[in-house]
Amino acid sequence: MSLCVVGSINADLTVNVGRHPTPGETLMGSGGGITAGGKGANQAVAAAKLGTPVVLVGAVGADANAEPATALLRDAGVDLAHVEDVEDVTGLAVITVAAGGENTVLVVPGANALVGAELVQRHAAAIEAAELVLLQGEIPADGFARAVELARGRVVVNLAPVVDVPREALLRADPLMANEHEAGLVLQQLGLDGAGTPEELARRLLDAGFASVVLTLGSAGALVASGGELTHIESPNVDAVDTVGAGDAFAGAFCHRLLAGDSMVDAARFACRVGAFSVTRPGAQPSYPSAADTLPSV
């Protein structure tokens, strides 16, 4: 049961600080190393490390960052035959991590901005053959839409960041996966009220036409909405070191379990445990568990 991820590949430049700077302020930090990132790559690695066969469609640049950006994809066994080398810089994310684990991220798209409809079409066979296609918001809208058009299997959309994509493509999501803030922005994009509790947002998204919705709520767990029913999933209580990529760990793990035959509720329970595991270690992809790791329990 294969997963095709169509999405971004980044080099993550991470700086650790005691607290986040205010506008105009200069702080001293530590770190500065380059690690692998990008929402598409993160989610691909998360699923592959757990044992799912994963194909990634994307692009990297002709620069020194291409190697570290793809190193953990190769280590995890992700099929990179559909990752193109383009004449641009590899996507770059500048991440600031505060002492409590909260982070800010500034992304330079680079090669990811070239993962449009034309590039996606060149890899149609990989997308059409997948049992599940997973998409995010870090590639151009026409590339996103073309991937949805090509998908013959289930489509899962984690529209992060929330970008303007064709309504009919977005509504193919089953489920739409988002955090509370992103859920509100998606509703606004659809011309609807984006304020309210997670439960209200989830019901409004179902009413808007989504077959199902999964809202990630950080340390509060997740909310699964399908068939008019809402189920709250608890997250294990852990000491967070670094929350970078935790949502991507959840997404990859969720798809891993869907392909194994789990219900969305059971997949979300497992994904919450994987997300909790990831925040106890620094970085995004380096923090993700393998199938052999012991996950925290609720």
Which residues does the annotation mark as catalytic? 248
Q: Which of 109, 79, 158, 86 is nearest to 8 (CA)?
A: 109
244 is known to lie in a ligand binding site: yes
E runs forming strands in the chain: 3-6, 10-16, 30-37, 54-60, 79-85, 91-97, 103-108, 132-135, 154-158, 176-179, 212-216, 222-226, 229-233
281 is known to lie in a ligand binding site: yes
Contact 171, 209 (CB under 8 A): yes
217 is known to lie in a ligand binding site: yes
Contact 132, 3 (CB under 8 A): yes
11 is known to lie in a ligand binding site: yes
218 is known to lie in a ligand binding site: yes
158 is known to lie in a ligand binding site: no
221 is known to lie in a ligand binding site: yes
Please return the burial class of 106, using the count of CB atoms within 10 Å of its CB with bins 0-12, 13-18 and 19+.
Answer: exposed
287 is known to lie in a ligand binding site: yes
- Rounded Cα gap, residues 123 and 120, in angstroms: 5
Identify the H or E element spanning 209: none
18 is known to lie in a ligand binding site: no
40 is known to lie in a ligand binding site: yes
5 is known to lie in a ligand binding site: no
- Rounded Cα gap, residues 221 and 215, in angstroms: 9
3-state DSSP helix/strand/coil % of the chain, to nearest 5: 35, 25, 40
Determine phi and psi for 70, rounding to 5 degrees: -110, 0
24 is known to lie in a ligand binding site: no
Binding residues for ATP: 179, 216-221, 247-248
Binding residues for substrate: 10-12, 38-42, 138, 248
Binding residues: 10-12, 38-42, 138, 179, 216-221, 242, 244, 247-248, 278, 281, 283, 287
Binding residues for K(+): 242, 244, 278, 281, 283, 287
